[in-house]
Copies of this chain bind each other. A is one copy, B any other.
Amino acid sequence: MYDFVFHNPTKIIFGPDREREIGRELKDAAVGRVLLVYGRSSVKQSGLLARVSDALKAEGIEFFEHGGVVSNPVLSHVREGIALVRQNRVEAVLAVGGGSVLDEAKAIAVGVVAEVDVWEFFTGREVTAALPVFTVLTLAASGSEMNGNAVITNEETRQKYNIGTSHVYPRVSILNPELTHTVSPEYSAYGAVDAIAHLIEAYFTKQPGTNLQDRLVEGLILTIMENAETIRDQPDHAQARASMMWAATLALNGLTPAGVGPYTFPNHMIEHSLSALYDIPHGAGLAVVIPAWMQWYRPQNPGQFQRFASQIFGLHDGEEGIVALKKWFSSLNCPTTLQEAGIAAADIPLIRDNAYDTAKLWEVDKLYPPESIEEILQLATR
């Protein structure tokens, strides 16, 4: 155990139909004017947007719409949202959607109260304020609903960078697992991979000797795996969708790394370059990167890989655990090589350089020099 501060003030309201409570939550927080951020057509077609709008109207809350958020949300659209908020002087941002929508809402919340361009916060400037963020979640994956992170892609510079700040923890997040029943098989699988990725970054890269946190991680991974399989076979299985949703939230809400000491996020570091350069889904990119990174990293922490193999797959050998996880990703129809993700091996130098820029920004460039990143990417071709 190492020193830590844990402070997660997000209120989670979980269960079918509970998006109807969002109006009251905003009113309780004295919000009278809100920016409503959402993605493409699905939230309109499903009737969710209408239900949320009704909940706002019922409490007399004025709202302004900012739709059209894309997967791997882009900086230009964030800036449009900021302009809209400034025009209409709203008091909070309400995201209705998956991780991309939540992340864009957080970026807008930060950018609107700043005197500098919002991208500065993604390249190192400290966030010191933000509008309050509220969310209605439609996808089990990113954990953004209960943390202070947001990832945005600058499509001009092809950089996918993040902020992490206490100022954008959502005040309230509404998790209705029924909203995830219609998520496509692909995105359901990518969500599971993303949640597992959030858990294993610290699990493998921290120091040894934190049994408590290891057990929490293993319990969550087993939960995510069993429910991902159920969802693959029965997409509208209510219990599996509900367990997956809460497990994905717990996978990145600060609980599991609290007390484990320093750790790194290398799989995300490399994957962000894949989705920045090729606009592939984040979870698909992770399914490619993770098995390769695990192979590359295993000699640095063989005991933990053996533990992983044993606790997750009942296997004795660390290498076998990696193979089993890769097979499991395939069983969910996720790509597990660059080629399967539609990326040519010839692009490896380009990806390497992009990821190395992130390594420098995250101050892990000593651990991940260009040649190491290239080695990992080479392993991702097999």
Contacts and interface: CB of A to CB of B under 8 A. Distances in A.
Contacts of A14: 1, 3-6, 258-259
Contacts of A16: 3
B222 A215 contact: yes
Interface in A236-265: 239, 242-243, 246-247, 255, 258-259
A177 B3 CA distance: 10
A177 B1 contact: yes
Contacts of A242: 1, 259
B212 A223 contact: yes
B13 A5 contact: yes
Contacts of A11: 5-7
A211 interface: yes
Contacts of A243: 1, 210-212
Nearest to A210: B243
A379 interface: no
Interface SS of A by simple majority:
mixed
A61 interface: no
A258 B218 CA distance: 19
A302 B234 CA distance: 29
A287 to B, nearest CB: 22
**A-side interface size class:** 35 or more
A9 B12 contact: no
A169 to B, nearest CB: 10
A342 interface: no
A15 interface: yes
B239 A209 contact: yes
B1 A212 contact: no
A182 to B, nearest CB: 18
A275 B6 CA distance: 33
A233 interface: no
A15 B3 CA distance: 4
A322 to B, nearest CB: 23
A8 interface: yes
Of the candidates A3, A13, A247, A258, the one having the most CB atoms from chain B within 10 angstroms of its own CB is A3
A149 B15 CA distance: 25
A8 B258 CA distance: 15
Contacts of A247: 212
A226 B255 contact: no
Given A1-B177, A4-B12, 16 more contacts: A1-B14, A1-B246, A3-B16, A4-B14, A5-B12, A5-B14, A6-B12, A6-B14, A9-B9, A14-B258, A209-B239, A211-B222, A211-B243, A215-B219, A215-B220, A216-B216
22 contacts: A1-B14, A1-B243, A3-B14, A3-B15, A3-B16, A3-B18, A4-B12, A4-B15, A5-B12, A5-B14, A6-B14, A7-B12, A209-B239, A212-B243, A212-B246, A215-B218, A215-B220, A215-B223, A216-B216, A219-B219, A242-B259, A246-B258
